[in-house]
Amino acid sequence: CFRVAVAGGATVELRARGSALGAAGARRVVCVLEDVSTLAGALRDAEARATRDALTGLGNRSFFRERAELALRIARAKGRRMAVVFLDVDRFKRVNDSLGHGAGDVLLRTLAERLHARVRSSDIVLRDPEDTVVSRLGGDEFTILLTDVHDGEATERVVGRVLRAVAAPVSLGDQSLSVTMSAGVAVFPDDGEDIDALLQRADTALYQAKAKGGNAYQFFSPRMEAQVRRRLALENRLHRALEQRQIGVCYQPRVAYPSGRAVAAEALLRWDDEELGAVPPAELVHVAEESGQIVALGRYVLERACREAHRWQAEGRSIERVAVNVSPVQFARDDICEAVFTTLKETGLSPDALELEITETALLRDEVGVSLALEELRSTGVRIALDDFGTGYSALTLLTRVPLDMLKLDRGFLRNADPNTPEARLVTTMVEMAHALRLTPVAEGVESLAQAQMLAATGCREMQGYAFSPPVTASLLRSHYACSVEGKNGQKIEDAQNQIEVKENA
């Protein structure tokens, strides 16, 4: 086939077939020309559909693999280093969920254009500007091939340039949205000898970058594989542990100062796996959120805590309420009102004996939806506490719009017990603000009598921390707080701490 220019500047594709005429050695030929422009165009379209992403126009997974294999052969033959960069959009699901899939498609097309524009020809495998090595693997996942990588700093410059370019605001209808991406990088031959290995390890590095909060990149290192293996093991072991009720719940009292009377106890996770050992609570919650098991875990803790608190009520213990933390991810994925009301009914616990602790993150994700749920819960007597106040965005106007009962001050403000420090003055201000808004201020992480006295001077009377008691088992808590009338309500905090520690170590 060949192309021929025709009148008007257009071109047609022709296919020629010829036959010689006459005896051997004759020089006459009959030639038939056939216009195959339509067929050739259809073949090109079919090839493009097979190797190009319909939404963004970038190369697709097949295109990526074809070019990556070529790049790998060149790198291996010439002794070069090459890199695979694996990227995805941070919190992309939230865009689809809140603005719709149409907006998500616009966002992906915009990011694809920015990625392609920012990867310069000197960074790519093929020098032909018609060829792109920025590919969309699917969903919000993209790849970039970098060839002839001389050093890590050069690769860092390219990846950093790309992440900065995509972080510019994107216009979606009448909204301007700030979106970021994260990236993982694997280098041939250090991190793998074939494309599958490089992709897998770039993906592993990407996971580590996203674990930092996004808008970041990470180069693969062998220790990451151990972390990934642990994460996968945790996911599998967690599923089994929930089924077999192997995850423990302990309780840390919250006391009224200076009496030492327990006004509540916070339910805290404890998991000592027979294969993995003690799993930190923060890691446990993170794995549950990432693996889609946070709703099951949250409901499990809620049921355990409510059942234990009902026992306190039935036995006349001095502990008035149990506090349960609700993950922002659980709040987003679960019907929290249904979960609470069902659990209260099944365990027999009175609603006014339950506190739910939420974070500012949950409120900022969906203030209206969360506020409606909290209002419904409070209408039955359930109390709501804003946890870790001062560590998040701390949008003070939220305190006037969201139905709350308590404000838990983060432990970070209590490092210095000197009342003349800026931190102490900040605590005083937050306590006064809580009182002005008719919220009960609660201090977390109180570790010394000096801190307790400083807090009391500000007007904060409810405290929690090792100055009063470490987290203890349910049975130890019950044995310490005997009953509401004749128990140890009036003892000093030093005695309360000593008694619990002695019994815990016995």
Q: What is the DSSP string of 439-460?
A: -EEEE----SHHHHHHHHHHT-
Q: Using the 8-state DSSP alphabet, how is residue 280 labeled?
A: P
To which H or E segment does residue 115 belong?
Answer: helix 101-118
Nearest to 246 by CA among 280, 221, 214, 269: 269
**Tokens (6 digits) for 122:** 């000197």
Separation of alpha carbons 506 and 501, rounded Å: 8
Nearest to 146 by CA among 155, 137, 136, 138: 155
Fold match between domain 52-220 and domain 230-487: no
To which H or E segment does residue 356 belong?
Answer: strand 354-358
Fold (topology level) of 230-487: TIM Barrel (3.20.20)
Count CB-CB contacts under 10 A for residue 298: 24
Strands 248-256 and 462-464: antiparallel
Position 338: which residue type?
A: E
Domain residue limits, the chain: 2-45, 52-220, 230-487
Position 472: which residue type?
A: V
52-220: CATH homologous superfamily? Reverse transcriptase/Diguanylate cyclase domain (3.30.70.270)
Grouping H, G, I as helix, E, B as strand and the rest as coil, residue 217 is strand
Q: Give a three-class secondary structure readout of 224-279.
A: HHHHHHHHHHHHHHHHHHHHCCCCEEEEEEEEECCCCEEEEEEEEEEEEECCCEEE
Predicted model pTM? 0.67
Tens of pLDDT, residue by residue, the chain (506 residues):
667 776 666 777 777 777 776 666 667 777 777 776 666 665 656 565 668 898 998 989 999 999 899 989 988 998 888 999 999 999 888 787 778 888 899 999 999 999 988 875 445 544 444 434 899 999 999 999 988 777 778 888 889 989 998 888 888 877 788 889 999 999 999 999 999 999 999 999 998 898 888 899 999 998 888 888 888 899 999 999 999 999 999 999 999 998 888 899 999 999 999 988 999 999 999 899 988 999 999 999 999 999 999 999 898 888 899 999 999 889 888 899 999 999 999 999 999 999 999 988 777 777 888 899 999 999 999 999 999 887 655 557 778 889 999 999 988 888 776 777 888 888 899 999 999 999 999 999 999 998 999 999 999 999 999 999 999 999 999 888 755 433 333 343 334 444 333 233 33
Separation of alpha carbons 267 and 496, rounded Å: 19
Q: Using the 8-state DSSP alphabet, how is residue 506 labeled?
A: -
Residue labelled with tokens 């969309």? 136
Q: How far from the centroid of its chain's Cα atoms is residue 246's Cα?
A: 25
Position 97: which residue type?
A: D
Contact by Cβ (8 Å): 111, 181: yes
